[in-house]
Amino acid sequence: MSLHSIIKGEIRVNGIRARKLNLFVPGRLCLFGEHSDWAGMYRTVNADVVMGQAVVTGIEQGIYATVERNDKFIVESSLDVYDEPKLESPMDTARLLEVARQGGFFSYVAGVASYINDNYTVGGLKITVTKMDLPIKSGLSSSAAICVLVARAFNQMYNLRMNVKGEMQAAFRGEQRTPSRCGRLDQACAYGVKPVLMDFDGVEIDSRELSVGATFRWVIANLNASKDTIKILADLNRCYPFAEDEIQKKVQEALGIDNKIMNEKAVKYLSDGDAGALGALMDEWQLNFDEKVMPACSELIAPVLHSVLEDKEIRKFIYGAKGVGSQGDGSVQFLCKDEESVKGLREYLDKKGMPSFTLTLKPGQSVRKAVIPLAGYGTRIFPATKAMKKGFSPVVDKDGMLKPALFIMLEELFNAGIEDVCLIIGEDEQDEYDKLFAPVDEDLKLKLPNDKAEYADRIVEMRQHITFVYQNERKGFGHAVHLTRQFSQGAPVLLLLGDFIYESTGPVSCSRQVIEAYMECGKTLVSIEEVDLEKVVHYGILYGQWDDTEETMMKVERMVEKPTDDYAEEYLGVINNKKQKKYYATFGQYVLTPEVYDELTAMVITADNEGESGEIGLTEALDNVRQKYGMYAFCPEGKSYDLGLPEAYRYTIANFGL
């Protein structure tokens, strides 16, 4: 039985706040590899068929909706693109399947709802589609977008613990219950506006996000012609599972080994930021498709598509071009040279009666700035802090040198690519830090061994990359971080706790791992580590769903500061692949986006206006960002060592760097 309660005016179900969600799911564009998804499924019959592979990305246009719980399954919209204004059905599989088999827009949403109802214990939903700027019937998979949206709505409203791949699977299975038969790559829209490499090995699918080394600009245009997708798919499927003539053999080559080689090149060119090479590859892919696949289906002659691809006026704007989706006279994609080329091409296409829209893929923003709060009193290790600041605590580093812990932190940051570090201290502490980073006396330097003399120079060099910010009023961790807003200058910032040092168990430092994880997800990120249930009361605990098969990246759904064992066991246990319940605490490294600083600023202003004297917490700001924009947690390969407690410091001294 569900536990309903009201906490401060909020309705909660099973301890989870009942809420209205705003969801957006984009359409998808197949950059390379169309048709290889269904072709790869024939490996279950013929092992000689080459595994399918495609580079797919979400686009900037899609479907917007609000979602809330309901006893029934309701989908409504006042938009003109839908034939019917409303679907209302009991959460009954038979009734939902009846709708799914009728075809049309509501068949997709009903198909997914029926699949969810068969496989999970859920109630209903009310989904209101508020906006759709995704062109339909243009090879951009609007049907897959609405299917993913419904799967995600159930997942988030009923805490079904599906990661992105789970949502994709539910969307695909739901669409399979309709007269439509989508391909397996269509659900890549679940990843958002980012490129993904998908492998199709029989019924198995694997996918991974791709890195982008520079800004790539596409224009996608509707050819305003017509094509018969059903005929294209039927004719090409006749070439499988076993090729019976030379034409069918060429189709299998093009969608198999040729496609795999070109996708490998595409992944490299995207990562290298080489738009010229990627554009040339688009032309090469289309020529190969025309030579080897077109003879199998007359629809692929596509006179309108090929007239556009050969248009010399268009060529001056682009690096390359190819068809979209199943190919044929549906849509076309162009990789443009620059922003001016995008503008010029769209104006030209508009004159030809071909409406267009843009797609821009940008490199993940790296992290170049870091913040370390050091202004605490250090009461937990008093009276040692009468003699030295807690960041000055000596630790034997991996190189055998005895160093202040702060130097170990700074070295990790600079080695991870950080260029500027802000230390938050008390104004009265500045003299101590000046002495710490001051050059050593030349007489002393001459007496030092070579490695230590070189390190003395390194200390002075580190000082050139350090900015100090004063926290003269101790108003909490969040307040301290808020003081570094000007230092951040609107860029993402890596935050390290001032009483921890870190040791990687792999070749990449913990800080670098966290930065690279942020570059993948592009959202506020908290590093985490597994802790035992009996220790959760000492930490901030995060709960969510794993977003990768390695269980290193988690989409955060809840943050609770120092929960009780009972609460954590009921609400905060994360289920892993082995069906075990695990608990995850903050590891002590964060990547803060500008949205976090916005939240902290709002909290500080509110506290000042209301005359509140309490502390400003970082956790509250992070949770606000999580609810508004989403947030990820990441498990680095490594250990954190505590300097802030006597027993923990004893352990650090004995074990760090061994």
Give dist(CA 412, CA 370) in Å, integer: 11
Name the range with the highest mean pLDDT among 141-145, 154-158, 569-573: 569-573
Which pLDDT value is given to residue 7?
29
Give dist(CA 253, CA 247) in Å, integer: 10
Residues 335, 257, single domain; the answer is yes
DSSP string, 111-135: HHHHHHHHHS---EEEEEEEEE-SP
pLDDT digits (tens, 9 = 90+) for 474-501: 888 899 999 999 999 888 999 999 889 9
Residue 14 lies in a domain: no
CA distance readout (Å), 406 to 2, 441, 466, 592? 49, 21, 12, 21
Which pLDDT value is given to residue 658?
81
Q: For the domain that residue 545 is a member of, what is the CATH number? A: 3.90.550.10
Question: In the predicted model, is pLDDT for residue 319 greater than 70?
Answer: yes
Residues 224, 196, single domain; the answer is no
pLDDT digits (tens, 9 = 90+) for 20-51: 788 889 888 899 999 999 999 999 999 999 99
Q: Is 545 left (phi over 0), alpha (psi -120 to 50) or beta?
A: beta
Residues 277, 406, single domain; the answer is no
Give dist(CA 370, CA 421) in Å, integer: 5
Strands (E) in 415-473, as ranges, are: 420-425, 466-470
Give dist(CA 416, CA 236) in Å, integer: 49
Give dist(CA 411, CA 88) in Å, integer: 60
Percentage of residues in the chain having pLDDT higher than 70:
95
Question: In the predicted model, is pLDDT for residue 137 greater than 60?
Answer: no
Residues 410, 543, single domain; the answer is yes
Structure tokens at 502: 């870190």
Single residue among 134, 167, 200 that ends a domain in this structure: 200
Helix (H, G, I), strand (E, B) or coil at 511: helix
Per-residue b or e along 418-435, where b marks 16 or more CB atoms closer than 10 Å to that residue's CB: bebbbbbbbeebeeebee
Beta carbons of 427 and 472 less than 8 angstroms apart: yes
Beta carbons of 468 and 423 less than 8 angstroms apart: yes
- Our CA angle for 45, 47, 53, nearest 5°, is 100
Question: In the predicted model, is pLDDT for residue 585 greater than 50?
Answer: yes
Residues 175, 255, single domain; the answer is no
pLDDT digits (tens, 9 = 90+) for 182-207: 677 888 888 887 899 999 999 888 88
Residues 179, 321, single domain; the answer is no
Residue type, 471: Q
Single residue among 176, 200, 224 that ends a domain in this structure: 200
Q: 493-496 and 369-373 as β-strands: parallel, antiparallel, unpaired? A: parallel
Beta carbons of 527 and 519 less than 8 angstroms apart: no
Residues 78, 169, single domain; the answer is yes
Residues 349, 383, single domain; the answer is no
Mean pLDDT of the chain: 89
Residue type, 454: E
Residues 106, 189, single domain; the answer is yes
Structure tokens at 165: 């791949």
Question: In the predicted model, is pLDDT for residue 18 greater than 70?
Answer: no
Residue 437 lies in a domain: yes
Q: Domains in the chain: how many in total?
A: 3
Residues 195, 224, single domain; the answer is no
What is the Cα Rg of the chain in Å?
Answer: 28
Q: Which of 115-124, 373-382, 431-440, 476-485 has the lowest mean pLDDT?
A: 373-382
Structure tokens at 380: 């937990």
Question: In the predicted model, is pLDDT for residue 14 greater than 50?
Answer: no
Beta carbons of 267 and 210 less than 8 angstroms apart: yes
Beta bridge partners of 56: 30, 196
Structure tokens at 412: 């990790």
- Tell how far CA 544 is from the center of its chain: 14
Intra-chain end-to-end CA distance of the chain, in Å: 51
Helix (H, G, I), strand (E, B) or coil at 169: helix
Question: In the predicted model, is pLDDT for residue 11 greater than 60?
Answer: no
Omega of the bond leading into 179 within 30 degrees of 0 (cis): no
Residue 490 lies in a domain: yes
**Which H or E run includes 488?**
helix 485-488
Residue 10 lies in a domain: no
Residue 575 lies in a domain: yes
pLDDT digits (tens, 9 = 90+) for 70-120: 999 999 988 776 666 789 999 999 999 999 999 888 899 999 999 999 999
Q: For the domain that residue 104 is a member of, what is the CATH number? A: 3.30.230.10
Single residue among 311, 331, 361 that ends a domain in this structure: 361
Which pLDDT value is given to residue 138?
55
The domain of 290 spans 216-361
Residue 294 lies in a domain: yes
Find tokens 């996918």 and name the residue.
Answer: 207
Structure tokens at 183: 């391909």
| Residue 466 neighbours by CB distance under 10 Å | 14
Q: Which of 7-16, 49-58, 339-348 has the lowest mean pLDDT?
A: 7-16
Structure tokens at 30: 């197949």
Residue 74 lies in a domain: yes
Which pLDDT value is given to residue 252?
98
pLDDT digits (tens, 9 = 90+) for 271-311: 888 999 999 999 999 999 999 999 999 999 999 999 999 99
Q: Which of 5-9, 216-220, 409-413, 623-627 has the lowest mean pLDDT?
A: 5-9
Residues 338, 431, single domain; the answer is no
Which pLDDT value is given to residue 9?
30
Q: For the domain that residue 342 is a member of, what is the CATH number? A: 3.30.70.890
Beta carbons of 287 and 309 less than 8 angstroms apart: no
Which pLDDT value is given to residue 82?
61
CA distance readout (Å), 547 to 207, 550, 585? 11, 9, 18
Beta carbons of 559 and 626 less than 8 angstroms apart: yes
Residue 37 lies in a domain: no
**Which H or E run includes 503?**
strand 500-504
Beta carbons of 273 and 258 less than 8 angstroms apart: no
pLDDT digits (tens, 9 = 90+) for 168-178: 899 999 999 99
Residues 496, 625, single domain; the answer is yes
